[in-house]
Structure 1
Amino acid sequence: MTSRTMGIATAMALILTTGAAAAQTTTLRIQNHNAPESTTGRLIAEFVDNVETMSGGDIDIEMFYSASVVKSAETFDAAATGILDCDMTNGSYQTGKNAAFQFTADTMGGYDTPLQFHAWVNHGGGRETLNELYNASGMTFVGNHVGGQESLNSTKPLEGVADLEGFKFRSPPGMESEIFAKLGASPVVMDFTEIFTALETGIIDGADASTLANNVGMGIYDVAKHTTYPGFHSMSADHLACRTDVWDAMPEAHRAILTTAEKALALDLMTLTLVENGEALAELPEKGVTVYDWSAEDRATFREAAQEAWGEWAEKTPETAAIVQSHRDFLKRIGLSD
Structure 2
Amino acid sequence: MTKDLRTRRAFLKGSALAGAATLAAPAIATAAGETTTWKVQTSWPGGLGLQVFKDWCGSIKEKTGGQLEFIPFGAKDVVGDFQLFDAVKNGVLQAMNPFTLYWAGRMPAAVFLSSYPMGLRNPHEWDVFYYGLGGLEIARELFAREGLYYVGPIHHGPNIIHSKVPIRSVDDFRGRKMRLPGGMVAEVFQELGAKTTLLPGSEIFPALEKGTIDVADFVGPAINYALGFHQVTKYISMGPPGFMSLYQPVDLMDLTVGMDAWNALAPEMKQFVEMETKAYSVHHHAAIQKADQEAWVKFEEAGTEVTRLSQDDVEAVTEVAVPRWFAWANKDKDAARVFQIQLEYMKSGSLGYVTDDMIDGQELKL
TM-score of the aligned structures, taking structure 1 as reference length = 0.89
Residue number in structure 2 paired with 1:297:
312
Which residue is equivalent to 2:296? 281
User: Does the CA-based 8 Å contact 2:58-2:71 persist in structure 1?
Assistant: no
Structure 1: tracts of 5 or more residues without a match: 1-18
**Residue 47 (str. 1) matches residue 56 (str. 2):** yes
Note if contact 2:205-2:229 (Cα within 8 Å) is conserved in structure 1.
yes
Among residues 130, 138, 143, which one is paired with 1:134 in the alignment? Answer: 143
* 1:329 CA drift (Å): 2.6
Instruction: Tell me how far apart the structure 1 counterparts of residues 259 and 102 of structure 2 sit (CA, whole Å).
Output: 19
Instruction: Pick the aligned partner of 1:233 from 226, 231, 247.
Output: 247
Say whether 1:326 aligns with 2:341: yes
What's 1:118 paired with? Answer: 127
Please report how far the alpha carbon of residue 24 of structure 1 lies from its aligned counterpart in structure 2 after TM superposition: 5.9
Instruction: Work out the CA distance in 1 between the residues paired with 2:38 and 2:309.
Output: 43
Find the residue that maps to 1:147 and give its secondary structure.
Answer: strand
- What residue number does 2:362 align with? none
Q: Determine whether 1:35 maps to 2:45.
A: yes
Query: Percent sequence identity over matched residues?
Result: 26
Letter in 2 for 1:107: Y
1:172-211 aligned at under 5 Å gives the runs 172-211=181-220
Q: Specify which structure has the higher proportion of helix.
A: 1
Q: How far apart are residue 104 of structure 1 and its match?
A: 1.6
> Per-residue displacement from partner, 1:157-214 (whole Å, max 9, x unpaired)?
1111011101111111211111100011111112221111000000000211111221
Q: For 2:157 and 2:99, locate their aligned partners in 1 and report how far apart those are by CA, in whole Å.
A: 15
1:95, 1:274 → 2: CA distance? 26
**Alignment deviations for residues 126-145 of structure 1 (CA, whole Å, 9 cap, x no partner):** 10111121111111111122
**C-alpha displacement of 1:256:** 2.1
- 1:237 to partner: Cα distance: 0.7
1:262 Cα deviation after fit: 1.5
Query: CA shift at 1:53, angstroms?
Result: 2.0
Q: Equivalent residues in 2 for 1:1-338 (5 A)?
A: 20-21=31-32, 23=33, 25-36=35-46, 38-229=47-238, 230-234=244-248, 235-333=250-348, 334-337=350-353, 338=355
**1:248 Cα deviation (Å)?**
1.9
Cα distance in 2 between the residues matched to 1:168 and 1:323: 32
Secondary structure at the residue paired with 1:179?
helix
Contact in 2 for aligned 1:159/1:292 (Cα 8 Å): yes
Paired residues of 1:170 and 1:207 also in contact (CA < 8 A): yes
Separation in 1, partners of 2:186, 2:35: 43
Q: How far is 1:56 from its partner?
A: 1.2
TM-score, length-scaled by structure 2 = 0.82
- Does structure 2 retain, via aligned residues, the 8 Å contact 1:52–1:61? yes
Structure 1 match to 2:24 = none
CA apart distance, 1:45: 1.6
Larger Rg: 1
Once residues 345 and 263 of structure 2 are traced to their aligned partners in structure 1, the CA distance between those partners, rounded to angstroms, is: 29
Change (3 A) 1:303 1:279: farther
Over aligned residues, Cα RMSD in angstroms? 1.8
**Contact map agreement 1:34 1:67 (CA 8 A) in 2:** no
| Cα-to-partner distance string for 1:144-163 (whole Å, 9 max, x where unaligned) | 22222111111111111011
Q: How many pairs are equivalent?
A: 318
